[in-house]
Amino acid sequence: MNLSAIKGFRGAFLDFIDDPFYVSELESVRYFPDGLLVIENGIIQDFGDYAEMHSKYPNLSITHYRDRLILPGFIDTHIHFPQTEMIAAYGEQLLEWLHQYTFPTERKFKEKSYAKKIASFFLDELLRNGTTTALVFTTIFPESVDAFFEAAGDRNLRAIAGKVMMDCNAPDYLKDTAQSSYEETKALIQKWHKNGRLLYAVTPRFAATSSEKQLQLAGKLLAEFPDVYLHTHLSENVKEVEWIRELFPHSQNYLDVYDRAGLVGDRSIFAHGVQLSPAEFKRLSEANSAISFCPTSNLFLGSGLFKLQQAKSQETPIKVGLGTDVGAGTSFSLLQTANEGYKVSQLQGRKLSSFQALFLATLGGAKALNLEEKIGNFDVGKEADFIVVNLQATPLMALRNSGELPQTLAEIGDRTFALMMLGDDRAISATYILGDRAKIT
Ligand code: GUN
Ligand code: ZN
């Protein structure tokens, strides 16, 4: 074995090996107060308790993070890179917000150099917040897709994105046609899907901005390229749902508009789902599709309270990840997103534990993106994307989380709850991509 290619990280590690919405914490959470992670060429080779393992690796070069918690990198299952600069746009709900703020901003991304500049800022912001993988909306302009993938590739990130398809109910400057969106998407899939760690998602914006023909062609692309993803918005806002009913009178419900075009499958990720009916929950469960739960956005735009517990029920289990949905979302931090998710649950009389929230931000997100074989926890063979977290990053956090890292699950569960309520980018001490520390400019 060439030991020089191998490196080790020592510290407290927490990850998930099963879903804490369905099994006990003892069965789902893995916590090593003093653990060792062994990495070779960016891939996890070994993982466990330091005392039990270290004699196997006498010459290992080890980075020791004392008083830090090491977690798998966070996974953001829904975010828009071109909306970075228009985060915190005042006063409107979804449809007005799109016309007043979003569309004029996205117009700027026809210019590749501008798109590159914002893509670079955006990816640094993700990494600063401990997000190592994201499913990303671009704009209708292929230049913006290239800009995003080039910047993500430069950073060795596992990322998924796609060109937005929209051929109606939008300003002329932000419309493609059914045919041009088909052809451009096809070329972009051929260029970017499985290019290194990058993956492609066919991305109709939402049913309101696509003709039936465009949705059908999106379905044709999924049939032609069965391992690409489908990424869109679904049932976010009451006025939007009424509009979809008017636009597609022959569909049974919002999800059915996508279903008729062949867009509802096990590689489909739908953002929001705030207004879903029981029949739609059932269909999403049957199809093994995923929902991205975007609490900061759902609250900011006044969309409503996502029924997380229904999505994670025994009857209609659905894959769920967390989404920041920047720029309707108000933070790049999945910790702050979990914070708002907790409050959304409280408003429905339900609890969201820190373990459940951290599961959604890591292994749950990986499962939502069908990437659980590659990322999401510290299993041997997975890609070594991880973050080093300071539970005492601010004076208030240091007071609330005082003392050494605890030994028990109950105690670490309490500390991570304080982390998710009080933490943000300040709590992320370092972000590692394939075992290398990311340089954030
Ligand atoms: N629905 C259609 N487009 C968008 C968007 O850009 N953001 C959100 N939150 N919802 C949408
Ligand atoms: Zn969105």
Q: pLDDT value at position 3?
A: 46
Cα angle 374, 40, 26 (rounded to 5 degrees) comes to 55
**Ligand 1, atom 5: nearest CA belongs to which residue?**
98
4, pLDDT greater than 70? no
Average pLDDT over residues 311-338: 98
Question: Would you kindly state where each structural domain of the chain is located, as residue ranges?
Answer: 3-73+378-437, 74-368
Predicted pLDDT of residue 112: 98
3-73+378-437: CATH superfamily: Urease, subunit C, domain 1 (2.30.40.10)
Distance 98 CA to ligand 1 centre (A): 7
**For residue range 389-411, what is the model confidence (pLDDT) as tens digits?**
999 999 999 999 999 999 999 99
Instruction: Determine the topology of domain 74-368 in CATH.
Output: TIM Barrel (3.20.20)
Ligand 1: atom nearest CA of 233 is 1
Ion ligand 2 neighbours (CB, 5 A) are 271, 325
Specify the residue with its C-alpha closest to ligand 1, atom 9: 328
Of all ligands present, the nearest one to the C-alpha of 324 is 2
Region 86-91 average pLDDT: 98
pTM over 0.75: yes
pLDDT above 80 for 1: no
Enumerate residues 6+ apart whose C-beta is below 8 A from 416.
14, 69, 354, 355, 358, 391
**Ligand 1 center to residue 205 CA distance, Å?**
7
With a 6 Å cutoff on the Cβ, whether 98 touches ligand 1 is: yes
pLDDT tens by residue, 344-365? 999 999 999 999 999 999 999 9
Please indicate whether residue 328, judged by its CB atom, sits closer than 6 Å to ligand 1. Answer: yes
Ligand 1 binding pocket includes 143 (Cβ within 6 Å): no
At residue 10, the pLDDT reads 98
Please tell me the distance between residue 233's alpha carbon and the centre of ligand 1 in angstroms. 7
CB atoms within 10 A of CB 5: 11
For residue 86, how far is its CA from the centre of ligand 2 (angstroms)?
Answer: 13
Q: Which residues pair with 272 in a beta bridge?
A: 234
Rg (C-alpha) for the chain, rounded Å, is: 21
Q: How confident is the model at residue 260 (pLDDT cuts 50, 70, 90)?
A: very high
Question: Rounded to the nearest 5°, which phi and psi values hold at 380?
Answer: -60, 135
Q: How much is the mean pLDDT over the chain?
A: 98
